[in-house]
Amino acid sequence: MAWDFSTEPEFQEQLDWVEQFCRDEIEPLDLVFPGAAYSRDPKARALADPLKQQVKDHGLWALFLDKDLGGPGFGQLKLALLNEILGRYRSAPVIFGTAAPDTGNMEMLAAYGTEEQKRRWLYPLMNQEIFSAYSMTEPQGGSDPSLFLTHATRDGEEWVITGEKWFTSAGARADIIFVMCTNGMFVVPGDAPGVEIMEYPALHNHIRYNDVRVPADHLLGPEDGAKVLAQRRLGGGRIHHAMRTVAQVKLAFDIMCERALSRESHGKTIAEHQMVQEAIADSYAEINMLRLLVLWTAWTIDNSSTREARTQIAACKYTAAKVLREVSYRAMHIMGSLGTTNLTPLQAMWASAPTMAVMDGVDEVHKVTVSRNVLKGYEPHAGLWPTEYIPAKREEARKKYASLLAADPDLAAWADHAARATARGH
């Protein structure tokens, strides 16, 4: 029997270390020096680098990568359990070498890069010597890649990239940008002539690529292969976001439960009021539904591939957004006025729910994917009645007992009575 919800003791020890390390080292850093882990400032690096070294010493650096690429090769299920902890702490992904958007870009390089491309970009990204961004969405629309216009034209030993991208996260500070063109995925140095960063938005950049020239070997994967590379990249990114969302909603739940036991109203704790109990019970069930969906999806990826698990990944994506929205809202509500301030993590968490529903593909698109793929396992019924139409099924079943019904009037009467009784119900 292979269904097993336990964690092997050796790995549990690693989880315990990660939890304590995050609580003792990362949370204080986040509270006192927010953003230090991401900063290139030497003083900030002096604070964050020793923590990264501790992670490396424990063999937990670049958790998402296979052993041959310098990660621990945990696979997705173990990664999910780790992300359930890391997702609670803002800087944990970068301190553990697993921060987006670099992770997805590294996955693309690992899967499609030549040895030379890996040497030039993958290993420096892994060591956080350089940082990257991913330019796919365009101002005229993000949900439908067939609307994208950015393209590359071959000119001798170079490609010339022309187009406009929108919402490239951390594009302004990236050393390299992975630019999705209609005819391929290209690696563009952030300082290449013609890369124009627009003033707004500040964090997720609007970028014009004005005839940007890159050498021929900056094409990643096959020519015309951009959509396949993008799927590979985004599939991994989506499930990792869902894993970290489990951490966030567990945090909201902890806050909610503590508060329910701490406040009184009308002579009893608010935990004793039924509507608060309902909020706790619904949240408990929704968090665990999301968690099991994410773990099952991670297990499926480990036992097949990201491609095989694409329906599940899509379901994780919009379910994570929904559970985040519902649970963080309930937690805020139970916190009362304090919940509406930014003095707890809840306000920011709730405000991030619409983002979860849009980034890496809007909910609607993922729901379409799930519905379309699930329906491939079904067929329309033949004739007028649905397969589960009981009178038709009963007539069919009676054929199995035809000789018995013909021979025994009592049994025949019983069967006739049962059929009439069912029909009288409506």
Q: Write out the residues near ligand FAD by the rule CB under 6 A.
A: 101, 134-137, 141-143, 167-169, 204, 355, 358-362, 364-365
What's the rounded Cα separation, in Å, for the pair 10 and 55?
17
Amino acid at 141: G
Give me the phi and psi of 181, to 5 degrees please.
Answer: -105, 165
Terminal C-alpha separation, the chain:
44
Nearest 5 degrees, angle CA 335-CA 341-CA 343? 90
Residue 202 or residue 382: which is nearer to ligand FAD going by CB? Answer: 202
Nearest to 418 by CA among 385, 394, 387: 394
Measured from the CB of residue 178, what is the shortest distance to ligand FAD in angstroms? 9
Token pair listed for 321: 């957004």
Q: Which is nearer to ligand FAD, 59 or 141 (CB)?
A: 141
The rounded distance, in Å, linking the Cα atoms of 383 and 395 is: 15
Q: How far is the CB of 293 from ligand FAD (least distance, A)?
A: 22
- Smallest separation (angstroms) from ligand FAD to the CB of 204: 5
CB of 245 to ligand FAD, least distance (A): 13
Query: For residues 181 and 270, which CB has a smaller minimum distance to ligand FAD in the complex?
Result: 181
What is the smallest separation between the CB atom of 171 and ligand FAD, expressed in angstroms? 7
Q: Which is nearer to ligand FAD, 185 or 255 (CB)?
A: 185
Q: Report the residue number, 147 or 423, with the smaller CB distance to ligand FAD.
A: 147
**Shortest Å distance, C-beta 362 to ligand FAD:** 4
Question: b/e for 279-299, b at 16 or more Cβ within 10 A?
Answer: bbeebeebbeebbebbbebbb
Q: Which is nearer to ligand FAD, 105 or 306 (CB)?
A: 105
Tell me the residue nearest to ligand FAD as measured from the CB.
142
Residue whose entry in the numeric block shows the structure tokens 């049994």: 411
* Range list of β-strands (E), 170-318: 176-181, 184-189, 195-197, 204-215, 219-220, 264-265, 268-269
